[in-house]
Structure 1
Amino acid sequence: MTVRIDHLVTSGTFSLDGGTWDVDNNVWIVGDDSEAIVIDAAHDAAAIEDALGGRTLRAIVCTHAHNDHIDAAPALAAATGAPVLLHHDDLPLWKQTYPEQIPDGELTDGSTLTVAGTTLTVLHTPGHAPGAVCLYAPELSSVFTGDTLFQGGPGATGRSFSHFPTIIDSIRDRLLGLPPETVVRTGHGDTTTIGAEAPQLAEWIQRGH
């Protein structure tokens, strides 16, 4: 069966450092007609389960642990039996939302996930959050970047656990070397490509100082 990428937008709130904001999140589902993984279970577990359409869910992958990217993960895991996976450096953020539980497994740099015969490689890309990761699927010419890279620039670094020079290093060293035609599937907003974003690196660095 042919692997495909399904896209769902869910709405809710993001809370950190005493503030709360309304947000729309991209939820990505990678798989075929029989199995799938979910990247960033945001806000609405029922909607995500409905989008799965009865497929076996192999994993719930968290690109990072800001609450808007994980707030539906435990409920989706309970409904499907799928493990929740997170990089261990984001456990302090995770525990702000779920102090009494931990994810089911760890994402590590260079590790791989396979679904529907397609391999996704974990790239540790700290900066927006200490344990932020991207998932690179060369067979799909796609990289799922969470909040590390958006159309038009890097993710925000103005709040706790974030660091602008680190996110720039992550984007430059881990992402901009991917093929320019690689589609960047973001945590919020529209998709872009590596080729469209790479020329702006110098501008981002100047803007951040």
Structure 2
Amino acid sequence: MAARIEHLVTSGTFSLDGGTWDVDNNVWIVGDDTEAIVIDAAHDAEAIARAVGDRRLTAIVCTHAHNDHIDAAPELAARTGAPVLLHPDDLPLWKQTHPDRAPDAELTDGQGLSVAGIELTVLHTPGHAPGAVCLYGPALEALFSGDTLFAGGPGATGRSYSHFPTIIDSIRDRLLTLPGDTVVHTGHGDTTTIAAEAPHLQEWIDRGF
């Protein structure tokens, strides 16, 4: 069976810089009936493991290391044996949530992750966090953007480890160059497309989104 995208929403909290907020997170599962990759193991390892089922989980990919995107990753890894993958620039954030458990392997820009006969390419897109990445799957016409790009604009850059000019550079140079019909599967909220977001880049810059 061909590779497909499955979607799960989990709920919990996001904490940084002394504040805590309730959040709903998108968890994305890419695979077929045999194997899968989880993108952002947020909040509920049991629910994610149920969604994966008896498939072989080949990787738990972290788009970045804010706690709401990684809090369930170690437990999901323990349940499934899958490695946790993170860009090394986000290790300081990771250690705030999991000081005693390191990721299993590093993500690097341009790296390919194979699952169910397709390849997802890692795009390093810093700005929301130093080690933020997106995953591009041309065979699925899909981009998994984490918190780098949302329906309506860039991810937040008002807290520690974030930088607005950098996220704008990442979006302009790495994401808006993708085909317009690429569907953007975000870390929170609704999906969008590259074509829907591209015309608004200058607006975001002008208002310092």
TM-score, reference length from structure 1: 0.99
Counterpart for residue 48 of structure 1: 48
Counterpart for residue 152 of structure 1: 152
Farther off after superposition, 92-101 or 165-174: 92-101
Is residue 2:138 matched to residue 1:138?
yes
Counterpart for residue 75 of structure 1: 75
Counterpart for residue 187 of structure 1: 187
Q: Which runs of 5+ in 1 are unaligned?
A: none
CA distance in 2: counterparts of 1:59 and 1:204, whole angstroms? 34
Specify the SS of the correspondent of 1:96. helix
CA distance in 2: counterparts of 1:147 and 1:115, whole angstroms? 23
User: Which digits, 9 at most, give the CA deviation of each residue in 1:141-191, with x for residues without a partner?
Assistant: 000000000000000000000000000000000000000000000000000
> Structure 1 segments of 4 or more deviating over 6 A?
none
CA distance in 2: counterparts of 1:2 and 1:151, whole angstroms? 27
CA distance in 2: counterparts of 1:139 and 1:207, whole angstroms? 35
User: Which digits, 9 at most, give the CA deviation of each residue in 1:120-160, with x for residues without a partner?
Assistant: 00000000000000000000000000000000000000000
| Contact 2:120-2:135 at 8 Å conserved across structures | yes
CA distance in 2: counterparts of 1:193 and 1:155, whole angstroms? 15
Aligned amino acid, residue 30 of structure 1? V
Summarize the alignment of residues 19-98 of structure 1 with structure 2, pairs less than 5 Å apart: 19-98=19-98
Cα distance, 1:101 vs structure 2: 1.7
CA distance in 1: counterparts of 2:12 and 2:85, whole angstroms? 21
| Contact 2:143-2:185 at 8 Å conserved across structures | yes
Specify the SS of the correspondent of 1:190. coil
Cα distance, 1:65 vs structure 2: 0.1
% identical equivalent positions? 80
CA distance in 2: counterparts of 1:63 and 1:48, whole angstroms? 16
CA distance in 1: counterparts of 2:109 and 2:2, whole angstroms? 27
Cα distance, 1:53 vs structure 2: 1.5
Specify the SS of the correspondent of 2:129. coil
Aligned amino acid, residue 76 of structure 1? L
Is residue 2:107 matched to residue 1:102?
no
User: Which digits, 9 at most, give the CA deviation of each residue in 1:54-101, with x for residues without a partner?
Assistant: 110000000000000000000000000000000000000000001112
Q: Which runs of 5+ in 2 are unaligned?
A: none
CA distance in 2: counterparts of 1:131 and 1:159, whole angstroms? 15
| Contact 2:38-2:59 at 8 Å conserved across structures | yes
Aligned amino acid, residue 15 of structure 2? S
Counterpart for residue 204 of structure 1: 204
Is residue 2:168 matched to residue 1:168?
yes
Cα distance, 1:19 vs structure 2: 0.2
CA distance in 1: counterparts of 2:99 and 2:46, whole angstroms? 23
Aligned amino acid, residue 153 of structure 1? G
CA distance in 1: counterparts of 2:99 and 2:80, whole angstroms? 22
Cα distance, 1:30 vs structure 2: 0.1
| Contact 2:74-2:101 at 8 Å conserved across structures | no
RMSD: 0.6
